Amino acid sequence: MSRHAASTLAELNGITLAYDDSGGAGDLVVMVMGTGSPGRVWKANQTPALIGAGYRTVTFDNRGIAPSSECAEGFTLDDMVADTAALIEHLNAGPAHVIGTSLGGRITQELALARPELVRSASLLATYGRPTPLLAAHGAGERALYDQGIELPSEFAASITAHMNLSPHTLAEDRAARDWLDIIKFSPQTVTPGVRAQFGLHDGETDRLDAYRQITRPTLVVGFADDRTLPEFLAREVADAIPGAEYAVVQKAGHFGYLEQPDRVNELLLEFLARH
């Protein structure tokens, strides 16, 4: 194990995994981020609330996101599930409350199915259990842009990112829209070979909803009412499939709902975790 910047590097599941551990004696919460994003995104809003409530939080960079191994040659969702399992085992403080968003939600629900002994509870934000024609088309477009070496003008890329990930209620306020566009423009998602490998996960996805009927861990599913990337009905389908799952919809929230409406998202998470 070694230190790299603010993260701890550990050799787990055959790769290097970078993680940040808040420490402390509280119950363990492991947080799984979505496609193309580093684990530090959770630190804007969720980890401070969880730490403040007494939890030990661990965020990490999924394979594909440096300084974790980029694995540009490609990998599977099962690999990412095994990475998360290996991290929980490495921490030796499980079972863990596991929180995931988007692709991280899918990883979390697959982990709860495959390794239930490691999961105390599962919280799934903006998740999905099956592909749709629109998701497939969007994913194919992302892969084609990278493979063909096409780089969109920064202003256009920022506008698309905002449109796909933010609520119309947010974008209807000119000041808020300008602020978000500036944030996105000046801190864009860089599509590295590792991120391209993450994009490849969406090629050939299958319907897993029936399999999720076998999940036994306490589960909270949160849909974002204005999510254009993974529409809210997809999260509802996952909640309907998992026996006993709780479901909540956050209003005025797009795919980045945990950033747009952090107080409500944190309230839902903390209330759920306190009961499990």
237-267 per-position pLDDT tens digit: 999 999 999 999 999 999 999 999 999 999 9
Looking at the predicted structure, is the pLDDT value of residue 3 above 60?
no
What confidence tier does 5 reach under pLDDT thresholds 50, 70, 90? very low
For residue 181, is it within any domain?
Answer: no
C-alpha to C-alpha distance for 65 and 93, rounded to whole angstroms: 25
Residue 21 located in a structural domain: yes
Q: Of 84-88, 184-188, 193-197, which gets the smallest average pLDDT?
A: 184-188
Q: What is the mean pLDDT of residues 212-218?
A: 98
Active site residues: 102, 227, 255
Position 1 scores a pLDDT of: 40
Quote the distance between the C-alpha of residue 61 and its chain's center: 11
Closest by Cα among 93, 89, 95, 110 to 13: 89
In angstroms, rounded to a whole number, what is the distance separating the alpha carbons of residues 162 and 167? Answer: 9
Domain that holds residue 234: 2-132+206-274
* Residue 46 pLDDT class (50, 70, 90 cuts): very high
CA distance readout (Å), 42 to 20, 50, 119, 143, 204: 11, 10, 19, 26, 29
| Range of lowest pLDDT (4-13, 208-217, 258-267) | 4-13
Q: What is the CATH number of the domain that holds 248?
A: 3.40.50.1820
The answer to whether residue 162 sits within a structural domain is no
Q: What is the pLDDT of residue 204?
A: 86
Residue 220, beta-bridge partner list: 123, 246
Asked, for residue 221, whether it belongs to a domain, the answer is yes
For residue 197, tell me if it sits in a domain. Answer: no
* pLDDT above 70: residue 2: no
Residue with tokens 């990112």: 161
Q: What is the mean pLDDT of residues 226-232?
A: 98
Dihedral pair phi/psi, residue 120, rounded to 5°: -75, -40
Q: In whole numbers, what is the pLDDT of the chain averaged over residues? A: 95
In this prediction, what percent of the chain has a pLDDT beyond 90? 93
Q: What is the pLDDT of residues 92-146, one digit of tens each?
A: 998 999 999 999 999 999 999 999 999 999 999 999 999 999 999 999 999 999 9
Look at residue 121 and tell me if it is in a domain.
Answer: yes
Note the pTM of the prediction, 2 decimals: 0.96
Classify the phi-psi angles of 124: left when phi > 0, otherwise alpha if psi is within -120 to 50, otherwise beta: beta
* Residues facing residue 30 across a β-bridge: 58, 98
> In sequence order, which residues have a C-beta less than 8 Å from that of residue 241 and are 6 or more positions away?
129, 209, 210, 212, 213
- The arithmetic mean of pLDDT across residues 202-218, rounded, is 96
Please tell me the distance from the alpha carbon of residue 91 to that of residue 153, in angstroms, as a whole number.
42
149 found inside a domain: no
Number of domains in the chain: 1
* 4 three-class SS: strand
Peptide bond connecting 153 to the previous residue in cis, omega within 30 degrees of 0: no
DSSP-based three-state secondary structure for 205: coil
Tokens of 234: 């997809």
92 belongs to a structural domain: yes
Q: 119: buried, middle or exposed (CB in 10 Å: 19+, 13-18, 0-12)?
A: buried
Instruction: Provide the 10 A C-beta neighbour count for residue 51.
Output: 17
